[in-house]
Amino acid sequence: MRAAEEAHVPPVEDRLPLHAVEDLTAHTASGDVPVRVYTPTAADRHGLLLYFHGGAFFLGSLETHDHVARSLAKETGLKVVSVGYRRAPEAAFPAGLDDCCAVTRWAAEQGGRLGWDGTTLALAGDSSGGTFAAAVAARAHDEGFDRITHQILYYPSLDLDFDEDRYASLRENAVGYGLETAGLKPFNAFYLDSGADPADPLVSPVKREDLGGLPPALIVTAEFDPLRDEGELYGRRLREAGVPATVSRYAGAGHGFVQHFSWIPAYHRVFAETRDFLARS
């Protein structure tokens, strides 16, 4: 499946041009983690956005989501650091999360080398990458790391301890829209193969009891996505905890639209919405 996904990646010469794109290795407490750094302009300093790709915890890569990272850098004007975290089943929970947390700290520590201007340090992720973005924000808060300024979650998977009675979208969008409800638990099983508790708030961020003090959030959901309702619930719970949270449902969209269908103007505007959220929050 990974090889088939990689086969659809366009050649470098056909990708959105930026000022610079550089592959680096982040030497972290979690080990050496490959990252790709996207610099939108020739300015000496930029804000930073850490991007965690999706792929049900076992698919996706720096290559498959290269166009998403490029679009984020181009539209937001931030320097984007895309993280090549360890994937299941070779590395189950908490390996991928540990990598994402460690690279976030590495980016802050290496700010001078990366050209960080010391302002924005945002987290973003799609699908399972959104799980990581939310969990990194929560763990950082608990550990007293207060540099993270925003969390941006595109159709995130936030409740791996779900049942179909809890979320109407799991029933309404069970089949026919790409991601199917019946496939969620088998996909998640790869990630949970370490014996992780699906109700652990670092596995299922919507289970966290106290959401107070977390960074402002943009949560993008898709009308025809089984995961729609858990993302929107997370947004409501953040607001109830006093955290500024914008929930934006994309009409007519299914799971994965940022990766697969962002060439459609109605969906490409997600990048402008991200830019505007960062500017006002």
Catalytic residue among 98, 99, 159, 225: 225
- Closest alpha carbon to 107 in 26, 20, 175: 26
> What is the rounded CA–CA span in Å between residue 193 and residue 191?
6
Catalytic residue among 30, 127, 157, 204: 127
> Quick check: is 255 catalytic?
yes
Instruction: Please compute, for residue 164, the number of CA atoms within 13 A of its CA located in the half-sphere on the CB side.
Output: 11
* DSSP assignment letter at 15: S
- Closest alpha carbon to 100 in 191, 16, 34, 182: 34
For residue 274, report the phi and psi dihedrals to the nearest 5 degrees: -60, -45
- Closest alpha carbon to 270 in 134, 126, 132: 126
Examine residue 40 and say whether the peptide bond preceding it is cis (omega within 30 degrees of 0): no
> Quick check: is 82 catalytic?
no
> Quick check: is 127 catalytic?
yes
Q: Which residues are catalytic?
A: 127, 225, 255
